[in-house]
Amino acid sequence: MPMPPHNRRASRAAVAALGAAGLITLAAAPAAFADETAPELVVGGIAPIDGVQPGSTFELPVTVANKGTGAAEKVWVTYAVTRGLDFTEVPSNCRAQQVRSYDEMPERWTVACGFDQAVAPGVVYTPERPLRVEALDRAFNDELLLRVDENDPGADENGYPPVAGTAPAVKLVEGQAGGEGSARVVIVPVTSVNTADYRVTGAALKGRVGETVPMKVEFINAGPAWFMAKVGERTARVMVTPPAGTSVVKTPGFCKAKGEAYECGMSQRALNEGGRESYSFQLKIDKRVAHAKGSVALSTDARPVDPDKSNDKADITLDVMGGGSTGSPGGPSGDSGGSPGGAAGGAAGGTAGGTAGGTAGGASSAGGNGTAANGGHLAETGSSALPITGVAAAAVVTGAGMLVVVRRRPARSRN
């Protein structure tokens, strides 16, 4: 909502409270710090709004009251709605501003109306013509924020330039007692009847054993509704399971290991219609596993807003090129565990190092049970013990080969 720069911290605190269930009121300053003869303005008169149909309009029956002992010479009432709602018209004594999303606050429209008339203590007022709001095609879980001030609240520095209204001006008129509010700021949930198609995209990976390849999967809100999680509620969750034979060496933000999979959340509590949340991993191909396939899927949480479940899961395929060990997902990999050690032994030691190479290869083969030693997942560290085992074996074999060379040279010199 529009706030002068020096009140920006208070604005963030107020809007951060958006989204809690029911009607929220943010009380004014404690009476101990207030001027006993000053006005104390409060706003109210409106209850949570539910069952709104996209394309329909509704009124905002706002009330303003003065609970203090002194009159307010002028009053400003600010209305702020999230992006699923819009104002149908703006009176000429009001100005409208579109505010970008920032600091965890969603995009919104604000209308600040100035009433150049006194508000006496103990009297309830209401605009003679309530503002009307339209629910757009993307409306779903939206919010209305109301605020009353004695002074011009100013424009939000993160918004576009304010625009003056063109509809006939409105003024405050006395209303019936009993409808006054109890706080200077009130937040009202506005719920519309709508759906959103949540989707995920998979990935097709390709590489050689030992290579690290990027993997990018996405969560998409195909609309028509945007969504905004209420404060304290979980956002959408995406479960990413890498293909067998790989290990994660880099995890994106908002993802954490959960068994063999990774549970990924959202970077923001809101996602517009057509919006995407991407998750970029780095996977190391530890070994070739026949028909290895991973998946990306939405969590099993109930989502009444998303009736189409056909695109809630996608495959992550892996094409391992060239030579390399093979195995079966989830079971023993045969000679795959010994391949790095055996190959290293044969290459480095030659005929003279065959015994050492065989020993190194045998040690590596002992890890063929799906554990980290033969390329199993280490979810927390994103690493595998396989490269260390292979390098160690190669070092042993190479050392043996060098020893043979040193011994042979003197014999040749005597001839």
For residue 260, give the CATH number of its domain: 2.60.40.1530
| pLDDT for the residue 180 | 76
Mean pLDDT of 317-321: 96
Radius of gyration of the chain (CA): 33
* Position 330 in a domain: no
Mean pLDDT of 246-260: 95
pLDDT of 256 above 60: yes
* Position 140 in a domain: yes
131 and 17 together in one domain = yes
| Boundary (domain end) residue, out of 166, 192, 218 | 192
* Position 132 in a domain: yes
377 and 230 together in one domain = no
The residue that leads in pLDDT, 180 or 316, is 316
**277 with 296: CB under 8 angstroms?**
no
If you ran DSSP here, which 8-state letter would residue 183 be given?
Answer: B
Of 44-48, 88-92, 396-400, least confident by mean pLDDT is 396-400
Which range scores top for mean pLDDT: 36-40, 45-49, 228-232, 319-323? Answer: 45-49
92 and 154 together in one domain = yes
* Position 333 in a domain: no
CATH number, domain containing residue 138: 2.60.40
* Position 327 in a domain: no
34 and 183 together in one domain = yes
107 and 226 together in one domain = no
9 and 147 together in one domain = yes
The residue that leads in pLDDT, 27 or 334, is 27
Of 57-71, 202-216, 308-322, 392-406, least confident by mean pLDDT is 392-406
pLDDT by residue (tens digit) across 84-118? 999 999 999 999 999 999 887 889 999 999 999 99
| pLDDT for the residue 23 | 52
73 and 211 together in one domain = no
* Position 214 in a domain: yes
312 and 210 together in one domain = yes
58 and 75 together in one domain = yes
pLDDT of 333 above 70: no
| Boundary (domain end) residue, out of 287, 321, 355 | 321
137 and 217 together in one domain = no
| pLDDT for the residue 269 | 86
Mean pLDDT of 149-178: 93
The residue type of 73 is: E
Quickly state the pLDDT bin for 324 (edges 50, 70, 90).
Answer: low
pLDDT of 207 above 90: yes
Residue 264 structural domain:
196-321
Q: What is the DSSP string of 200-230?
A: EE-EEEEEETT-EEEEEEEEEEEEES-EEPP
Of 16-20, 311-315, 399-403, least confident by mean pLDDT is 399-403
- Separation of alpha carbons 253 and 24, rounded Å: 32
- Mean pLDDT computed over every residue of the chain: 77
| pLDDT for the residue 391 | 33
34 and 179 together in one domain = yes
**101 with 275: CB under 8 angstroms?**
no
The residue type of 3 is: M
Quickly state the pLDDT bin for 241 (edges 50, 70, 90).
Answer: very high
| pLDDT for the residue 407 | 34
- Separation of alpha carbons 94 and 83, rounded Å: 19
52, containing H or E segment: strand 49-52
* Position 232 in a domain: yes
Provide the domain count of the chain.
3
Q: What percent of the chain has pLDDT over 90?
A: 60
| pLDDT for the residue 323 | 61
Residues with Cβ within 8 Å of 362's Cβ and at least 6 positions away in sequence, in order, are: 338, 341
| Boundary (domain end) residue, out of 321, 349, 381 | 321
The residue that leads in pLDDT, 297 or 339, is 297
| pLDDT for the residue 176 | 80
Mean pLDDT of 307-327: 85
pLDDT by residue (tens digit) across 165-178? 999 999 999 988 77
| pLDDT for the residue 106 | 87
* Position 67 in a domain: yes
224 and 294 together in one domain = yes
Quickly state the pLDDT bin for 250 (edges 50, 70, 90).
Answer: very high
Q: Crossing angle of helices 386-414/354-365, nearest 10°?
A: 170
Quickly state the pLDDT bin for 352 (edges 50, 70, 90).
Answer: very low
